Every structure is written in structure tokens, then in C-alpha cells.
């Protein structure tokens, strides 16, 4: 986005799931400081440092200097905050604005009691500006506005009628001020929130409680089972901090409860949306700091010993999460740099790159500005299936190979239209992961002549016809194999199809392609009896394969256990059917 003008950023954001605020700030940052990857990431790091200072200030208000210092320490080492302080994404900025607006709302209520008109006016203006800025950065900032309103309502309960009326009018006016300044973007925001697909999940309450508390406590890079004792210890400290808090603790409590509650109510607790919990992490750090301070103050020596042991356990779990963040491949970050490097290494004339997530093109063009033939798919909201298929057919007629870059498929393409079309109309040859990004390569189908064959696999699945795009290949070519299957009986298990190329059938294959039928979009347990399922496999021939005659064979094995189905014929029983003898020439 930083290469675009401000108006172009706004126009592009109107087609994206995110508002334009962060992108505009990032562009301004790059103009002032530079456009290197380090510099772009440094914006979030800089924002993260300010956020730690904000946690100190709020901690000091609700408690004392010690609470502020402990809150800053806990915030500065929290894996979730560290994680997003290193990302070129808007979540750390949104977290900072959450801290700022909670601080402003607390100061506003304090100054209202002193009746200092000038300061009250300043805090009101700052509240409105911060509120609208947060909404222009990310829609999830609305969770924090909800939290502030809940805190206000809670505090109004104990007020007399006149004070309650005064506070109510003030807060309604403040919310209206935010809405008025947000009106230019409000129709776009509503359209996005209503039409943008969201992966809804239904999971057990017990699982949700542990997973959410794990994220809030130690971030996204650790498993619950590894930190149970740390979660319990921190939970006790947070409970002490909540029940022993002062008048402003309602603001901090709702700061935690509102985002968590709304995520659960709307069924958004999934990998794609759990990052919204980062907005509530500062509140957890502040409450925990208050709990530690109370233990130290009221329980003297035992409290200090208990605090030290508990803090040590929290540090231990934090270190485990941080170690996973930097060294555990399972938690590998999205790696667009390596992705682009690998695509360029494989790229050849006649290739097209398909991107399914908004603004992926911006990231790819950052690493390689001159990359050509890049197409954005799955971009219509709501998703237009017919239009998308027509577009894919048009692209396939012009290019011989398609490279699909998939991220957040459940949001961009909830029905999997793009991938189902690719699996049924092209030959998938390779697939690799770069963090949460998946890259798959598809060869566009060539004309093939289908041959009849009688392949009976244990009386469960029958192979009726097959086709191969050629009988002569070179290293680096793709053998395109089309198979027509049917179920001979009701199938309750899921099987994978393997297509292997052998130099010697008694040795491992020199090349292969294994997958569930139709790229996984037609698993065998969904087959109806005697319905024909056309299944396409692409087998890439490695560059180091020697010239010679090779055997092309196909078979089936169970996903669970890996047992192969046997081939029944009058001549013999085997675990595969030989299709062709193919030649590889240099």
C-alpha cells in the first residue's frame, strides 16, 4: 500500500476487510523514515513501546507506582504483544489506541468530579478523536468502545439521579461525536461487516475458556497443556487484582470481558479471529500487576514469597512461549519473502499467479515489484460464484500453469469455489507452506484420450478409464493423469489415491502424487454408488531423473492406517494398477 497515494489507499481499503487508517499512517512513516522491511516493522515496535508506557500510566492511576511498574513489566514481556510489535499489521496500533482511550475515559471521569471545565473539554475532544482513529484503524476497536460504555453504565448504578443523568448525556454526546466523524466510512464499514465471510465455530465451553485464557496470559505461541500451572497462578493473581481493585477497576474488567464476550457471542473464536484478543492483553497485565501489589502489601513476607514464586512461574511460561515464537516451526510466521523467492525460482513463461486474499498483491510487489501475470481472485463481496468461475476459465485459457497463493480461505472463499475449480479442471503438482500461507501449483489440462481399463480395488472402488497427456517426457515436465472412478459399494472410510512413476516396481518411486480424490474436494466417503468421479493428478518429474523407460501406476490406500486396497483380477492380486510405460528423454 505504501507505494500508492492516500486516495488510492482509501479506494483499495474500500475493497479490503480493513479500514485505511493504518495504511495511511504506514505510508507517512515510510516517507519519514524509509521503506525497508526493518523500518516498516519498526512502526509496530515503536507503537509497542508507547503501549507499555500507557500500561504504566493506567496502572499508576488504579493503584500506585508499583502497580504501574509491574503492569509495564508484564506488558513488555507478553508474547502476544511482542508478536504483533514485530508485524507490519495494524493490531499493535489498535491495541495502543485501546490503552489511550481507556486512559482518557478514566481521566475524564476523574476531572468531571473536580469540575475543571478546560481539562474536561480537552479530555472530551481527545476521547472523540481517539475513538474515531481506532475505528479507522480496525473494526475490532468497537469492542473497546463497548467496554467503556459498559464500565460507564456500571458506575452509573451507584450514582444519584442527577449525576447519572449528567454522565449519560455526556457519554451519549461523546459516542455521537465519534459516529459523526466516522460517517464518511460508516457505509463501507457496515457493508464489510455484513457481507464479509467469517468462519463461525462451535466448540466446547471448557475448551474456549482454557484457550482464551492461554492467549490472554501467554500469547498465541504455546499450547495449553504445557502451561497449565502458569495459567492457574496467573488466574489467582488476576482474581485478587479484580476483587481488590478501586473505583476504576470496572473499566479494566470490562476491557477484558467485552472483547472476549463479543468474540464468543458471534462465534469468532478461531485462528483467524483470536488475534483480536490482543486488545484485552494490556488489561490482563494491569489487573495482574494490581494483584501482585496487593499480595506484597497485605501479606508481608508470605505474600512476597508467594508473589516471587508465582512471578517465576509466569516468567517460565512466558519464556516457553517466546522460545516457540522464534524457534518452533509449528508457530512459523507468514513468510512472504521466502514465498516470493521460491515462486521466482520456479516461475516460467506461461505462468500466472492467483492470490485469494485482499492486498496480497501489495506484499508480493513489495518484494518483487516487476512480477507479472498476478491475478486477484475471490475478491467479490458477497462472493459471486459464476463470475469467479468465468474468470478462472479465462485465465486458464491464456496460461499453461497457475500458482495459487492461499491465505484465510474460510474468509475469502468460504465455499472453496476457487480451489474446487482448480482441483477439478487442472492438475495439482506441488504444495508448500510458508507459515499460514499455502502455495499450490496447477498445470492447465492438455487434451487427453481416455482409455478403458478394468481396475477393481477390493470390490470397494472401481477404475474405469484413464488418460495420460503424453508417453514421452523430459525432466521438469508434468505427467498429467486423469482417472475416472466409481464406488462399487457404500464407502464409509476415506482413501487417498497415489499415482507413482517407477524405474523398478520393487523400489520406491522416482516421482509421485498422493491426494484424496479431486484434490481433497471429493473424499471417498461422500461418493454415491456408481457415480463417476473424475480425478486429476499432476506428477512432476525431477530434474535429476535419468533417461529411460518408466512405469506409471495407480493405487489406493486408507488415510487411517495406510493400508492399501488390493487389485482383484483373474491373473493376480496386487496393490496397484499399471497404466502405461512412459519414456523420459533428456
* Neighbouring C-alpha atoms within 13 Å toward the C-beta of 503: 10
- The pLDDT assigned to 285 comes to 97
- The pLDDT assigned to 469 comes to 93
> CATH no. for residue 395?
3.30.110
584 in helix, strand or coil?
strand
Distance CA 14, CA 11 (A): 5
- The pLDDT assigned to 571 comes to 52
Instruction: Tell me whether residue 94 is in a domain.
Output: yes
- The pLDDT assigned to 157 comes to 82
> CATH no. for residue 472?
2.60.40.3880
- Please tell me whether residues 156 and 216 are part of one structural domain: yes
Mean pLDDT of successive 10-residue stretches along the chain, which has 586 residues: 81 82 94 89 96 97 93 97 94 97 92 79 94 95 92 83 84 93 93 68 69 94 93 94 84 91 74 85 96 84 84 94 92 86 85 85 81 84 85 93 88 86 92 89 89 92 94 93 94 95 92 94 91 94 93 95 85 80 92
pLDDT digits (tens, 9 = 90+) for 379-421: 877 778 899 999 999 999 999 999 999 987 777 788 889 999 9
Q: Looking at 331, 353, 385, which one is the last position of a domain?
A: 331
- The pLDDT assigned to 204 comes to 62
**Environment class of 184 (CB within 10 Å of its CB; exposed 0-12, middle 13-18, buried 19+):** exposed
Domain extent for 191? 6-331
Q: Where are the alpha helices (DSSP H) in 399-504?
A: 409-412, 417-425
- Please tell me whether residues 132 and 178 are part of one structural domain: yes
- The pLDDT assigned to 572 comes to 53
pLDDT digits (tens, 9 = 90+) for 89-147: 999 999 999 999 999 999 988 887 777 788 889 999 999 999 999 999 999 999 999 99
pLDDT digits (tens, 9 = 90+) for 74-88: 999 999 999 999 999
Domain count, the chain: 3
Q: Looking at 280, 296, 331, which one is the last position of a domain?
A: 331
Closest by Cα among 231, 237, 270, 238 to 257: 238
Instruction: Tell me whether residue 1 is in a domain.
Output: no
- The pLDDT assigned to 263 comes to 78
* Neighbouring C-alpha atoms within 13 Å toward the C-beta of 112: 15
- The pLDDT assigned to 570 comes to 56
Q: Looking at 305, 331, 357, which one is the last position of a domain?
A: 331
- The pLDDT assigned to 203 comes to 60
Amino acid at each position: 500500500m505504501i507505494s500508492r497515494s492516500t486516495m488510492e489507499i482509501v479506494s483499495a481499503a474500500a475493497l479490503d476487510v480493513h479500514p485505511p487508517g493504518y495504511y495511511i499512517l504506514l505510508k507517512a512513516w515510510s516517507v519519514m523514515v524509509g521503506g525497508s522491511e526493518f523500518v516498516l516493522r519498526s512502526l509496530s515496535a515503536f507503537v509497542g513501546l508507547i503501549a507499555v508506557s500507557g500500561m504504566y500510566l493506567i496502572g499508576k492511576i488504579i493503584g500506585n507506582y508499583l502497580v504501574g511498574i509491574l503492569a509495564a513489566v508484564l506488558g513488555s514481556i507478553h508474547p502476544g504483544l511482542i508478536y504483533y510489535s514485530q508485524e507490519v499489521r495494524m493490531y499493535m496500533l489498535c491495541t495502543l489506541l485501546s490503552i489511550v482511550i481507556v486512559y482518557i475515559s478514566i481521566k475524564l471521569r476523574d476531572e468531571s468530579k473536580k469540575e475543571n471545565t478546560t481539562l474536561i473539554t480537552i479530555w472530551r475532544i481527545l476521547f472523540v478523536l481517539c475513538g474515531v482513529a481506532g475505528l479507522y484503524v480496525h473494526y475490532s476497536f468497537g469492542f473497546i468502545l463497548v467496554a467503556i460504555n459498559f464500565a460507564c453504565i456500571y458506575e452509573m448504578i451507584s450514582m444519584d439521579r442527577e449525576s447519572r443523568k449528567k454522565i449519560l448525556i455526556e457519554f451519549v454526546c461523546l459516542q455521537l461525536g465519534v459516529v459523526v466523524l466516522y460517517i464518511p466510512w460508516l457505509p463501507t464499514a457496515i457493508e464489510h461487516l455484513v457481507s464479509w465471510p467469517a468462519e463461525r465455530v462451535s466448540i466446547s465451553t471448557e475448551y474456549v475458556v482454557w484457550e482464551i485464557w492461554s492467549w490472554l496470559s501467554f500469547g498465541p505461541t504455546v499450547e495449553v497443556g504445557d502451561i497449565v500451572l502458569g495459567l492457574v497462578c496467573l488466574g489467582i493473581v488476576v482474581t485478587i487484582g479484580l476483587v481488590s481493585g478501586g473505583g476504576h477497576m470496572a473499566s479494566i474488567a470490562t476491557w477484558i470481558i467485552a472483547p472476549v464476550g463479543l468474540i464468543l457471542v458471534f462465534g469468532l473464536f478461531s485462528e483467524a479471529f483470536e488475534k483480536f484478543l490482543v486488545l484485552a492483553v494490556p488489561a490482563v497485565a494491569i489487573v495482574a500487576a494490581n494483584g501482585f501489589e496487593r499480595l506484597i502489601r497485605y501479606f508481608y513476607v508470605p505474600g512476597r514469597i508467594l508473589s516471587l514464586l508465582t512471578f517465576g512461574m509466569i516468567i517460565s511460561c512466558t519464556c516457553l512461549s517466546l522460545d516457540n515464537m522464534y524457534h518452533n516451526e509449528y508457530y512459523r510466521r507468514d513468510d512472504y519473502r521466502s514465498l516470493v523467492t521460491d515462486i521466482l525460482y520456479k516461475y516460467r513463461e506461461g505462468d500466472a499467479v492467483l492470490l485469494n486474499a485482499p492486498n496480497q498483491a501489495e506484499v508480493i510487489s513489495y518484494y518483487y515489484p516487476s512480477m507479472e501475470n498476478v491475478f486477484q481472485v475471490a475478491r467479490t463481496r458477497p462472493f459471486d460464484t459464476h463470475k469467479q468461475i468465468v474468470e478462472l476459465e479465462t485465465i486458464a485459457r491464456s496460461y499453461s500453469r497457475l500458482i495459487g497463493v492461499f491465505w484465510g480461505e474460510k474468509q475469502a472463499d468460504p465455499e472453496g469455489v476457487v480451489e474446487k475449480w482448480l482441483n477439478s479442471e487442472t492438475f495439482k503438482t506441488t504444495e508448500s507452506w510458508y507459515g499460514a500461507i499455502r502455495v499450490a501449483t496447477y498445470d492447465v489440462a492438455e487434451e487427453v484420450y481416455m482409455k478403458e481399463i478394468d481396475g477393481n480395488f477390493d470390490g470397494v472402488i472401481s477404475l474405469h478409464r484413464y488418460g495420460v497427456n503424453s508417453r514421452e517426457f523430459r525432466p521438469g515436465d508434468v505427467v498429467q493423469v486423469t482417472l475416472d472412478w466409481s464406488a462399487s459399494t457404500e464407502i464409509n472410510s476415506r482413501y487417498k489415491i497415489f499415482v507413482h512413476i517407477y524405474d523398478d516396481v520393487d523400489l520406491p518411486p522416482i516421482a509421485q502424487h498422493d491426494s484424496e480424490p479431486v484434490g481433497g474436494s471429493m473424499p471417498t466417503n461422500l461418493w454415491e454408488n456408481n457415480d463417476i468421479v473424475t480425478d486429476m493428478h499432476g506428477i512432476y518429474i525431477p530434474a535429476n531423473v535419468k533417461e529411460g523407460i518408466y512405469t506409471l501406476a495407480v493405487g489406493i490406500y486408507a488415510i487411517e492406517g495406510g493400508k492399501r486396497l488390493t487389485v482383484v483380477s483373474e491373473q493376480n492380486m496386487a496393490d496397484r494398477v499399471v497404466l502405461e510405460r512412459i519414456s523420459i528423454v533428456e
